[in-house]
C-alpha cells in the first residue's frame, strides 16, 4: 500500500510540469502580447473576464511606468461595455498602432549622482568590519588555546544571570496559580 501511494505521488509530481506547460501563458501575457503587436488591445479578441484578469496582473511597476497598457485595457473594456463586440454592433478596432502607442519611449535610466556614500552606511560598514575582525580574532585565539581570565569571568557571569532570570521568571509564572 505504501509503495502504491509513493508511485502515485511520483506520477502526480512528474505530470505537474506537463500540465503547467499545457496551460500556456495567463490572460495578462496574452493581452500584453496583443497590445505589443497592435499598439492597442482589440476589445473583441478577449472576453471581459480575460481583460479584467489582465488588469489584475499589472503590478506596481507596471502601473507606474506602463500606464498606457492599463489605459488600453480599460479602453477595451469600455468598448466592450458600449456594445462594440455585440452582434451587429460597431466594431471600432484600430487597424494599426495608435498615436499614443507609436510615440512610446521607455523610462529613462538615470546615471549615478557622483555623491559619496551616506554617513550612516559608512558607520554601519565600519561596525560590521569591526565585528567581523573581533569574531575572527576570537576564533583564532580559541583555536590556539588562548583563554584569558576576564573571558572566563564573563562566561560565568552570563551563565549566572541566565540562571537567575529563569528562576525569577518561573516564580512569576507560578505565583499567579
Please check whether residue 101 is in contact with residue 68, taking contact to mean a CB–CB distance below 8 angstroms: yes
Half-sphere exposure of 175 (CA within 13 A, CB side): 6
> What is residue 79's predicted lDDT score, i.e. its pLDDT?
87
- What percentage of the chain's residues is helix, strand, coil (to nearest 5)? 70, 0, 30
Are 92 and 150 within one domain?
Answer: no
Instruction: State pLDDT tens for residues 68-115.
Output: 888 888 888 888 888 888 776 554 444 445 544 455 555 666 666 677
Are 129 and 93 within one domain?
Answer: no
Query: Is residue 111 one of the residues assigned to a domain?
Result: no
Are 83 and 157 within one domain?
Answer: no
Are 60 and 129 within one domain?
Answer: no
Are 88 and 152 within one domain?
Answer: no
- The residues, ordered by sequence, that sit 6+ positions from 11 with a Cβ below 8 Å of its Cβ are none
Whether pTM > 0.95 for this model: the answer is no
Instruction: State pLDDT tens for residues 28-73.
Output: 888 888 888 888 888 888 888 888 888 888 877 777 777 788 888 8
Count of domains forming the chain: 2
Query: Is residue 6 one of the residues assigned to a domain?
Result: yes
Round the average pLDDT of the chain to a whole number and report it: 78
Query: Is residue 162 one of the residues assigned to a domain?
Result: yes
Are 13 and 97 within one domain?
Answer: yes
Query: Is residue 37 one of the residues assigned to a domain?
Result: yes
Query: Is residue 106 one of the residues assigned to a domain?
Result: no
Are 139 and 82 within one domain?
Answer: no
Angstrom distances, CA of residue 57 to CA of 26, 29, 30, 38, 168: 9, 9, 11, 20, 54
Query: Which comes out higher in pLDDT, residue 140 or 27?
Result: 140
Are 132 and 88 within one domain?
Answer: no
> What is residue 2's predicted lDDT score, i.e. its pLDDT?
67
Are 93 and 20 within one domain?
Answer: yes
State which residues form the domain around 149: 119-175
Are 79 and 148 within one domain?
Answer: no
Amino acid at each position: 500500500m505504501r509503495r502504491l501511494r509513493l508511485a502515485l505521488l511520483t506520477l502526480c509530481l512528474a505530470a505537474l510540469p506537463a500540465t503547467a506547460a499545457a496551460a500556456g501563458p495567463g490572460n495578462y501575457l496574452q493581452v500584453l502580447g496583443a497590445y505589443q503587436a497592435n499598439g492597442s488591445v482589440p476589445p473583441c479578441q478577449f472576453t471581459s473576464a480575460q481583460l479584467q484578469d489582465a488588469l489584475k496582473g499589472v503590478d506596481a511597476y507596471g502601473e507606474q511606468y506602463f500606464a498606457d497598457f492599463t489605459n488600453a485595457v480599460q479602453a477595451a473594456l469600455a468598448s466592450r461595455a458600449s456594445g462594440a463586440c455585440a452582434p451587429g454592433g460597431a466594431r471600432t478596432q484600430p487597424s494599426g498602432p495608435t498615436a499614443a502607442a507609436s510615440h512610446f519611449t521607455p523610462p529613462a535610466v538615470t546615471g549615478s549622482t557622483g555623491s559619496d556614500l551616506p554617513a550612516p552606511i559608512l558607520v554601519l560598514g565600519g561596525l560590521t568590519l569591526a565585528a567581523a575582525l573581533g569574531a575572527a580574532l576570537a576564533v583564532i585565539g580559541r583555536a590556539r588555546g588562548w583563554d584569558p581570565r576576564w573571558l572566563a569571568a564573563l562566561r560565568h557571569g552570563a551563565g549566572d544571570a541566565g540562571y537567575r532570570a529563569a528562576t525569577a521568571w518561573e516564580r512569576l509564572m507560578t505565583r499567579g496559580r
